[in-house]
Amino acid sequence: MQDWIMNFWNAQAPLMLRIGYQIVLVVAVFIVAGIVSRTLKSSVTKSSKRFHKLDPMLVPIFAGIVGYSVYIVAIVIVLDIFGVNTNSIVALLGAAGLAVGLALKDTLSNIAAGIMMLILRPFRSGDYISFNGIGGTVEEISLFTTILKTPDGQFVSAPNSNVWGATIQNSTRNGTRRMDLIVGVAYDDDLNAGFEAMRKIVDAEPRFLPDPTPQIMVQSLGDSSVNLQIRAWATVDDYWPLWWDMQRILKDEIEAAGLTIPFPQRDVHHYDHTQAAKGLAKKTD
């Protein structure tokens, strides 16, 4: 047995030494790759704290991409150690990546749109946005979809590419909104009395912001009413509660000032074709 082992060693020693050397190199490569991967991931996590506009959800994604990229490079090095033609493998991976990219172009476009929105932040979680006729409060921004909750409580999941490719109206971003309150009064009413009633409403309401200064004006001359308007600003939090309160207060104050909120009216003139025909017949006779 001992002689057999010695003969085997003498015959296979170069091969076994080469394989052992390669195994040691492989272990060393993966140890170094692990250290480099952890270091880079830690660096990405620490660096992200300096970028306040970067969504925290992106940090583990970027860190994971960096970590896996290091291991991919390590695998290519290991294959090269064992004499595998890495050039053909890289070309194959490139072709496979192109095929996968073409097959998943819509998914990849959603990922790209999601990353752009998370970086540029046209809206944040909790903002009320509108796009393509859809409106709701943003609940979540992921790499694939944007989740909204409509005012009536419905769940909306929109692909990121649809959101990013549309004109986004963010009603919350600026913190304040202008409120346009319109009420119609009769043409026979005193407009100055209407202005005084509206000024009284504005002065008595602390939720209206003093800057910009609230404005009171004749908005338009309607078919059956003169439309008076209040333009005033309010915070986003106060906007809708104030809007609904103003609908009741406007009616009460306008009527208390002796003004009339007219119903839509239309003058209808009836033309009697029978009488007209008789008159024409008499003229002919």
Summarize pLDDT for 184-231 with one digit per residue, the tens. Answer: 999 989 999 999 999 999 999 999 999 999 999 999 998 888 999 999
Numbered ranges of CATH 2.30.30.60 in the chain: 123-170
CATH of domain 123-170: 2.30.30.60
DSSP 187-209: TTS-HHHHHHHHHHHHHH-TTS-
**What is the reported pLDDT for 101?**
58
Close Cβ partners of 281 (under 8 Å, ≥ 6 residues apart): none
**What is the reported pLDDT for 76?**
77
**What is the reported pLDDT for 241?**
93
What class has domain 2-103?
mainly alpha
**What is the reported pLDDT for 73?**
81
**What is the reported pLDDT for 23?**
81
pTM of the predicted structure, to 2 decimals? 0.59
**What is the reported pLDDT for 215?**
94
Neighbours of 223 (CB within 10 A): 10
Question: 3-class SS at 183?
Answer: strand
Domain 176-256 in CATH 3.30.70.100? The answer is yes
**What is the reported pLDDT for 144?**
80
**What is the reported pLDDT for 236?**
93
Q: What are phi and psi of 22, to 5 degrees?
A: -65, -40
CB 149 within 8 A of CB 137: yes
Name the burial class of residue 118, with classes exposed (0-12), middle (13-18) and buried (19+) by CB atoms within 10 angstroms of its CB: buried
**What is the reported pLDDT for 16?**
67
**What is the reported pLDDT for 2?**
61
- Which residue, chain included where needed, has tokens 């493998």? 89
**What is the reported pLDDT for 142?**
75
Low-confidence ranges of the chain (pLDDT < 50): none
Measure the CA–CA gap between 35 and 12, rounded to whole angstroms. Answer: 35
Amino acid making up residue 122: P
Measure the CA–CA gap between 151 and 243, rounded to whole angstroms. Answer: 15
Numbered ranges of CATH 3.30.70.100 in the chain: 176-256
Numbered ranges of CATH 1.10.287.1260 in the chain: 2-103
